[in-house]
Amino acid sequence: MQNPYARWMYDWENRLMSVSTNRVVRPFDWGLEWARDLPCAPTPNGHAPHEYLRDFSLAALADTDEFFRYTTPSDYTLTGNILRFTTAAPSPYPENDRVHGVWFPAEHKPGRRKTAVIVLPHWNASLNQHGALCAGIAKFGTSALRLSLPYHDYRMPPELQRADYAVSSNVARTIHATRQAVIDVRSAADWLEQQGFESIGLVGTSLGSCYAFLASTHDPRLKVNVFNHCSTYFADVVWEGLSTQHIKTSLETAVTLDQLRDSWKCISPPYYIERYAKGGKKPLFMYAKYDTTFPVRFSEQLVQKARELGFWHKAVVLPCGHYTLGETPFKFMAGFHIISFLKRHL
Q: What's the structural domain count of the chain?
A: 1
In a domain, 49, yes or no: no
Could you give the CA distance from residue 54 to residue 262 in angstroms, rounded to a whole number?
5
What one-character DSSP code corresponds to residue 18?
A: T
Quick one: what percent of the chain has pLDDT higher than 70?
100
Q: What is the dihedral of CA 19, 299, 339, 109, to 10 degrees?
A: -120
pLDDT, tens only, 41-92: 998 877 799 999 999 999 999 999 999 999 999 999 999 999 999 999 999 9
Range of weakest confidence among 14-23, 55-64, 152-161, 325-334: 14-23
What pLDDT score was predicted for residue 215?
98
Could you give the CA distance from residue 242 to residue 7 in angstroms, rounded to a whole number?
16
- The sheet with strand 143-147 has its strands ordered as 77-79, 82-86, 98-104, 143-147, 115-120, 199-205, 222-228, 282-288, 314-318
In a domain, 260, yes or no: no
Residue 115 has pLDDT above 70, yes or no: yes
pLDDT band at 109 (very low <50, low <70, confident <90, very high): confident
Query: What is the residue-averaged pLDDT of the chain?
Result: 95
Q: In angstroms, what CA-CA distances link 101 with 83, 115, 144, 150, 154?
A: 5, 17, 10, 12, 10
pLDDT, tens only, 259-273: 999 999 999 999 999
Residue 248 has pLDDT above 60, yes or no: yes
Q: Which of 282, 346, 289 is nearest to 314 (CA)?
A: 282
Give the mean model confidence (pLDDT) for residues 321-345.
96
In a domain, 42, yes or no: no
Could you give the CA distance from residue 152 to residue 100 in angstroms, rounded to a whole number?
10
What pLDDT score was predicted for residue 1?
54
What pLDDT score was predicted for residue 20?
77
180 phi/psi in degrees, rounded to 5: -60, -45
In a domain, 142, yes or no: yes
Range of weakest confidence among 16-30, 115-129, 301-315: 16-30
Could you give the CA distance from residue 299 to residue 309 in angstroms, rounded to a whole number?
16
What one-character DSSP code corresponds to residue 42?
A: P
What pLDDT score was predicted for residue 309?
97
In a domain, 53, yes or no: no
In a domain, 32, yes or no: no
Q: In angstroms, what CA-CA distances link 293 with 5, 77, 233, 331?
A: 18, 36, 13, 17
In a domain, 63, yes or no: no
What pLDDT score was predicted for residue 110?
78
**Half-sphere exposure at residue 33, Cβ-oriented, CA atoms within 13 angstroms:** 3
Residue 2 has pLDDT above 80, yes or no: no
The enclosing domain of 320 has a CATH number of 3.40.50.1820
pLDDT band at 161 (very low <50, low <70, confident <90, very high): very high
In DSSP notation, 220-232 reads TTEEEEEEET--S
The DSSP bridge pattern shows strands 222-228 and 282-288 to be: parallel
Rounded to 5°, the CA angle 156-161-167 comes to 70
Give the mean model confidence (pLDDT) for residues 82-111.
95
Q: Which of 111, 114, 88 is nearest to 99 (CA)?
A: 88
Q: How far from each other are the two terminal CA atoms of the chain, in whole angstroms?
A: 43
> What are the start-end ranges of the H helices in 40-124?
49-62, 64-67
pLDDT, tens only, 190-239: 999 999 999 999 999 999 999 999 999 999 999 999 999 988 899 999 99
What pLDDT score was predicted for residue 230?
84
**Half-sphere exposure at residue 313, Cβ-oriented, CA atoms within 13 angstroms:** 25
In a domain, 43, yes or no: no
Give the mean model confidence (pLDDT) for residues 2-16.
91
Q: Could you list the residue range(s) of the whole structural domain that residue 188 is in?
A: 4-22+76-167+174-231+272-345
What pLDDT score was predicted for residue 296?
93
Q: How far is CA 141 from the centre of its chain?
A: 24
Could you tell me which residues come within 8 angstroms of residue 94 by beta carbon, excluding any fewer than 6 positions away? none
Could you tell me which residues come within 8 angstroms of residue 48 by beta carbon, excluding any fewer than 6 positions away? none
> What are the start-end ranges of the H helices in the chain?
4-17, 49-62, 64-67, 131-139, 171-194, 207-217, 234-240, 245-251, 257-263, 273-277, 296-309, 330-345
